[in-house]
Every structure is written in C-alpha cells, then in structure tokens.
Amino acid sequence: MIDSNLLFVIGWGSVAVLVSSWLVLSFLSPGGLRAGLARLATCAMYLSLLCLFVSGLQGAESWVGRIGFGFLSVVFGMGLGVSLWKLLRPPTGGQELAAH
C-alpha cells in the first residue's frame, strides 16, 4: 500500500503544476515551448487523477469499489505512461504530422 500522505502531496503538487501550466499556456504563442508545456500539463493531469483513484482504491471496502477504482487506476496509469512517453521522447520537428 502507498502511504495516503504521499498520495496527497503528489496529487496536490501535480494539480499545482497543472494549473500553473494552464495559466502560462494561455499566454504563449504556438511553438515548441508551448507544445512541451502542454505535454507537461497532460502528465500532471494524469498523475493527479491517478493519485485520486489509487487513494479511492485503497479506501474501498467493497469488491465493487475495488473493481471500479482499480479499473480507473489502470486507465489513468496507462494515460500517464503514454503522456510521459510523449513528453520524454526526442522532438521530431513536426515531421510526424507531415507523414500522415
């Protein structure tokens, strides 16, 4: 089990990153910095939701709650994995859009 205080700190920290990223993104012009910051905000969103649902999973008392929170934890965990992969991969210079 993950300590609930750790989930709380990580979850609210990622919400702070998400909100501050949204505020900065609102004033940036399109470009590489904006795309990278948008990916960071996406990772923060998935991380905050994952912390929320893992906390719910640990507190669930019925098997229906465990199944529901477990399913949501897996879905948002996979979303976090994909968004981290997109954040950490090297930039392609927009060539991926031209290929489609």
Q: Alpha-carbon dihedral of residues 80, 83, 85, 87, nearest 10 degrees?
A: -130
Question: Using alpha carbons only, how large is the chain's radius of gyration in Å?
Answer: 16
* Higher pLDDT among residues 92 and 44, named by residue: 44
In this prediction, residue 90 carries a pLDDT of 79
Per the CB < 8 A criterion, the answer to whether 69 and 57 are in contact is: yes
Tens digit of pLDDT for each residue in 35-85? Answer: 999 999 999 999 999 999 999 999 999 999 999 999 999 999 999 999 999
